[in-house]
Amino acid sequence: MTGNAQYAIDARAVGVQYSLKLTRKRTVRESFYNMLTRPDGPIHFWALRDVTFRVEHGECLAVIGPNGAGKSTLLQVLAGIIVPSEGTIDVVGQVSSLLTLGAGFDQDLSGRDNILLAGAFLGMDHADMMARLDSIIEFADIGEFIDAPIKTYSSGMRARLGFSIATAVDPDVLLLDEVLGTGDQAFRAKSRIRIEQMIKGARAIVLVTHDMNWVTEFCNRAMLLEHGRVVAEGDPDQVVAIHQEHSQRLRVVASPVAMATS
């Protein structure tokens, strides 16, 4: 990650390759044996391939696509959790992501203590996090559970707390994965307002979602992934229309197959 005021994210020909043999539920010995004995060698799968895009400051990019398209893998690459097998990725400034925050939560600590832990994880000064603590708790709005261990939280409560932390630390780049689908209508409305404020503050946001209303009403640009590749990018309305057309075509094709096998 380098400093460059011209963009927030610059991805060029990014690819992520997995070995299917090593991801199946097998022992290391079994996997190694099969790699040696099969003449065709290990089976490789590209979760992402030749993905190129750029996100400017003040943009909100929606990443959409069917299940298994590589959307979450892309977010993990942007968050630095996965190192790409090929290509380059440059993310400028401080990155805040529920992916990394969720992984950093201590199950036995309270929500309050996890806020301070997350601040340290993000490199924030302790005094600064203490100053933000009350506002983070108020925004998360999980009541007395803020002093209960994280392991007692529902997935929605964890997402609310994580979102409140991730957006309260003034990141340059915010990565979100379906978090806006959690919580009640009031929390969704608060979340939307906060992200709009971040965009106005020249923050860059990458949002993975299946909610097309969020994409068309809220994001500046959209990118459609299918089978790990970018098949469309640009105006959200147009990209959503392509996605819906492709999804409808797949349903039509799958319907006779389902009837024949039922």
pLDDT along the chain (262 residues), means of 10: 71 91 52 54 84 94 94 93 94 83 81 92 88 95 95 88 88 82 74 85 89 88 97 97 91 60 48
Instruction: Enter the pTM of the model.
Output: 0.79
| CA 195/CA 177 separation, integer angstroms | 14
Q: Which two tokens stand for residue 37?
A: 């004995």
Q: Answer yes or no: is 253 within a domain.
A: no
pLDDT at residue 223 in the model: 98
The number of distinct structural domains making up the chain is 1
Helices 126-140 and 155-168: angle between axes, nearest 10 degrees: 130
Closest by CA position to 99, among listed 123, 84, 118: 118
The domain in which residue 150 lies consists of 105-163
For residue 38, what pLDDT is reported?
56
Question: What is the spatial distance between Cα 17 and Cα 117, in angstroms, rounded to a whole number?
Answer: 33
Residue 78 is assigned to a structural domain of this protein:
no
Residue 78 near residue 90, CB atoms below 8 Å: no
What does the pLDDT read at residue 45? 87
Residue 227 lies in a domain: no
Answer yes or no: is 82 within a domain.
Answer: no
Task: Examine residue 182 and state whether it is found in any structural domain, yes or no.
Answer: no
Residue 142 lies in a domain: yes
**Residue 92 within any structural domain of the chain:** no
Say how many residues make up the chain. Answer: 262
Question: 187 lies in a domain?
Answer: no
> What pLDDT does residue 31 have?
52
Per-residue confidence (pLDDT) for residue 24, from 0 to 100: 46
* Contact (CB, 8 A) for 93 and 171: yes
